[in-house]
Amino acid sequence: MRRSLVISAVIVALLCGSSFLNSVFAQQDTIQLEKNRLRDEIKRLESEQFNTPTGNKAQILSLDKLIESKRRQLKELEANPKQYLYNKEQRRQGPSTTASSTAGYYKVYVRRLDQDLYKDQNSGLYIKTRYCYEYAYGAEALLKDGGAYDSKLIFESGGACDVESIFK
Protein backbone atom coordinates (compact mmCIF):
# COMPACT_ATOMS: atom_id res chain seq x y z
CA MET A 1 0.00 0.00 0.00
CA ARG A 2 2.73 2.45 0.99
CA ARG A 3 4.70 1.57 -2.15
CA SER A 4 1.70 2.28 -4.39
CA LEU A 5 1.22 5.67 -2.70
CA VAL A 6 4.85 6.55 -3.38
CA ILE A 7 4.53 5.48 -7.01
CA SER A 8 1.34 7.52 -7.35
CA ALA A 9 3.04 10.55 -5.82
CA VAL A 10 5.98 10.18 -8.22
CA ILE A 11 3.62 9.95 -11.23
CA VAL A 12 1.70 13.05 -10.09
CA ALA A 13 4.98 14.93 -9.57
CA LEU A 14 6.17 13.92 -13.03
CA LEU A 15 2.90 15.00 -14.63
CA CYS A 16 2.93 18.36 -12.84
CA GLY A 17 6.60 18.80 -13.62
CA SER A 18 6.06 18.05 -17.31
CA SER A 19 3.30 20.67 -17.57
CA PHE A 20 5.63 23.15 -15.88
CA LEU A 21 8.41 22.23 -18.31
CA ASN A 22 6.00 22.54 -21.24
CA SER A 23 5.04 26.06 -20.14
CA VAL A 24 8.72 27.00 -19.79
CA PHE A 25 9.50 25.68 -23.27
CA ALA A 26 6.41 27.41 -24.70
CA GLN A 27 7.54 30.70 -23.18
CA GLN A 28 11.05 30.24 -24.59
CA ASP A 29 9.55 29.55 -28.03
CA THR A 30 7.42 32.69 -27.74
CA ILE A 31 10.47 34.74 -26.81
CA GLN A 32 12.50 33.35 -29.73
CA LEU A 33 9.63 33.98 -32.15
CA GLU A 34 9.31 37.56 -30.89
CA LYS A 35 13.06 38.12 -31.31
CA ASN A 36 12.88 36.81 -34.87
CA ARG A 37 9.83 38.98 -35.58
CA LEU A 38 11.58 42.12 -34.32
CA ARG A 39 14.76 41.32 -36.30
CA ASP A 40 12.71 40.76 -39.48
CA GLU A 41 10.79 43.99 -38.87
CA ILE A 42 14.06 45.91 -38.44
CA LYS A 43 15.43 44.46 -41.70
CA ARG A 44 12.20 45.31 -43.54
CA LEU A 45 12.21 48.89 -42.23
CA GLU A 46 15.90 49.34 -43.07
CA SER A 47 15.21 48.12 -46.59
CA GLU A 48 12.23 50.47 -46.89
CA GLN A 49 14.37 53.34 -45.61
CA PHE A 50 17.15 52.50 -48.11
CA ASN A 51 14.65 52.47 -50.99
CA THR A 52 12.97 55.75 -49.97
CA PRO A 53 13.93 58.66 -52.27
CA THR A 54 16.40 61.03 -50.60
CA GLY A 55 14.06 63.97 -51.15
CA ASN A 56 11.46 62.45 -48.81
CA LYS A 57 13.25 63.42 -45.58
CA ALA A 58 10.12 63.26 -43.40
CA GLN A 59 9.52 59.60 -44.24
CA ILE A 60 13.23 58.76 -43.83
CA LEU A 61 13.24 60.37 -40.36
CA SER A 62 10.04 58.59 -39.38
CA LEU A 63 11.47 55.26 -40.52
CA ASP A 64 14.68 56.00 -38.62
CA LYS A 65 12.69 56.62 -35.42
CA LEU A 66 10.71 53.43 -35.97
CA ILE A 67 13.90 51.41 -36.53
CA GLU A 68 15.37 52.80 -33.30
CA SER A 69 12.14 51.97 -31.48
CA LYS A 70 12.26 48.36 -32.73
CA ARG A 71 15.93 48.10 -31.72
CA ARG A 72 15.02 49.34 -28.22
CA GLN A 73 12.26 46.74 -28.05
CA LEU A 74 14.70 44.00 -29.08
CA LYS A 75 17.20 45.17 -26.45
CA GLU A 76 14.42 45.22 -23.83
CA LEU A 77 13.35 41.71 -24.85
CA GLU A 78 16.89 40.37 -24.57
CA ALA A 79 17.46 42.06 -21.19
CA ASN A 80 14.21 41.00 -19.50
CA PRO A 81 12.01 38.67 -21.59
CA LYS A 82 9.24 38.15 -19.02
CA GLN A 83 8.76 41.87 -18.44
CA TYR A 84 8.82 42.51 -22.19
CA LEU A 85 6.09 39.91 -22.83
CA TYR A 86 4.00 41.40 -20.03
CA ASN A 87 4.43 44.93 -21.45
CA LYS A 88 3.59 43.67 -24.95
CA GLU A 89 0.36 42.15 -23.66
CA GLN A 90 -0.52 45.46 -21.99
CA ARG A 91 0.17 47.33 -25.25
CA ARG A 92 -1.84 44.78 -27.23
CA GLN A 93 -4.86 45.30 -25.00
CA GLY A 94 -4.53 49.03 -25.60
CA PRO A 95 -6.73 51.75 -24.19
CA SER A 96 -10.37 51.30 -23.46
CA THR A 97 -12.80 52.43 -26.10
CA THR A 98 -15.16 53.85 -23.52
CA ALA A 99 -14.81 57.08 -21.60
CA SER A 100 -13.37 56.82 -18.13
CA SER A 101 -13.47 59.18 -15.19
CA THR A 102 -9.71 59.01 -14.56
CA ALA A 103 -7.02 59.57 -17.15
CA GLY A 104 -4.98 56.59 -18.27
CA TYR A 105 -1.77 56.80 -20.27
CA TYR A 106 -1.03 54.18 -22.91
CA LYS A 107 2.03 53.69 -25.06
CA VAL A 108 0.91 53.42 -28.69
CA TYR A 109 2.70 53.08 -32.00
CA VAL A 110 0.72 55.22 -34.42
CA ARG A 111 0.72 55.61 -38.15
CA ARG A 112 -0.98 58.54 -39.81
CA LEU A 113 -3.61 57.30 -42.25
CA ASP A 114 -5.20 60.61 -43.17
CA GLN A 115 -5.56 64.11 -41.80
CA ASP A 116 -6.71 63.73 -38.19
CA LEU A 117 -6.77 59.91 -38.40
CA TYR A 118 -4.15 57.64 -36.84
CA LYS A 119 -4.03 53.90 -36.23
CA ASP A 120 -2.29 52.14 -33.34
CA GLN A 121 -0.12 49.40 -34.89
CA ASN A 122 -0.42 47.11 -31.84
CA SER A 123 -4.09 47.22 -30.86
CA GLY A 124 -5.56 48.13 -34.26
CA LEU A 125 -7.55 50.98 -32.70
CA TYR A 126 -8.19 54.11 -34.74
CA ILE A 127 -7.59 57.49 -33.13
CA LYS A 128 -9.46 60.49 -34.55
CA THR A 129 -7.86 63.82 -33.67
CA ARG A 130 -8.69 67.50 -34.13
CA TYR A 131 -6.42 69.75 -36.22
CA CYS A 132 -3.43 67.43 -35.85
CA TYR A 133 -0.50 68.01 -38.21
CA GLU A 134 1.95 65.42 -36.87
CA TYR A 135 3.25 62.96 -39.45
CA ALA A 136 3.82 59.50 -38.00
CA TYR A 137 4.86 56.21 -39.59
CA GLY A 138 4.82 53.82 -36.64
CA ALA A 139 5.97 56.52 -34.21
CA GLU A 140 5.86 55.87 -30.50
CA ALA A 141 3.40 58.12 -28.72
CA LEU A 142 1.41 58.38 -25.50
CA LEU A 143 -2.34 58.29 -25.58
CA LYS A 144 -3.91 60.09 -22.66
CA ASP A 145 -7.36 58.57 -22.32
CA GLY A 146 -9.04 61.19 -20.17
CA GLY A 147 -12.63 60.67 -21.16
CA ALA A 148 -14.72 62.68 -23.58
CA TYR A 149 -13.09 66.10 -23.05
CA ASP A 150 -9.48 65.54 -22.03
CA SER A 151 -7.95 62.90 -24.33
CA LYS A 152 -4.67 63.71 -26.07
CA LEU A 153 -2.19 62.03 -28.38
CA ILE A 154 1.33 63.07 -27.31
CA PHE A 155 4.14 62.41 -29.79
CA GLU A 156 7.86 61.81 -29.16
CA SER A 157 8.59 65.11 -30.90
CA GLY A 158 6.71 66.89 -28.12
CA GLY A 159 3.67 67.70 -30.22
CA ALA A 160 0.26 66.95 -28.77
CA CYS A 161 -3.15 66.72 -30.41
CA ASP A 162 -6.66 66.64 -28.99
CA VAL A 163 -8.37 63.28 -29.46
CA GLU A 164 -11.91 63.38 -30.72
CA SER A 165 -12.63 59.66 -30.54
CA ILE A 166 -11.08 56.20 -30.29
CA PHE A 167 -12.70 53.32 -32.17
CA LYS A 168 -12.05 49.91 -33.70
pLDDT tens, residue by residue, 125-148? 999 999 888 888 888 888 887 766
Helix axes 2-51, 57-79, angle to 10 degrees: 160
CA distances from 95 to 25, 83, 115, 165 (A): 31, 19, 22, 12
Q: So what's the pLDDT on residue 95? A: 54
Q: So what's the pLDDT on residue 111? A: 92
| pLDDT at residue 7 is higher than 70 | no
Q: Averaged over 95-101, what is the pLDDT?
A: 48
Partners of 119 in the β-ladder: 111, 126
Residue % of the chain over a pLDDT of 90: 12
| pLDDT at residue 164 is higher than 50 | yes
| pLDDT at residue 41 is higher than 60 | yes
- What span, in angstroms and rounded, lies between the C-alpha atoms of 6 and 86? 39
10/43: higher pLDDT? 43
* DSSP character at residue 148: S
Q: What are phi and psi of 97, to 5 degrees?
A: -95, 5
Q: Averaged over 100-104, what is the pLDDT?
A: 55
Q: So what's the pLDDT on residue 101? A: 44
Residue 141 CB neighbour total at 10 angstroms: 23
Closest to 141 (Cα-Cα) out of 129, 76, 55: 129
Q: What is the CA radius of gyration of the chain?
A: 22
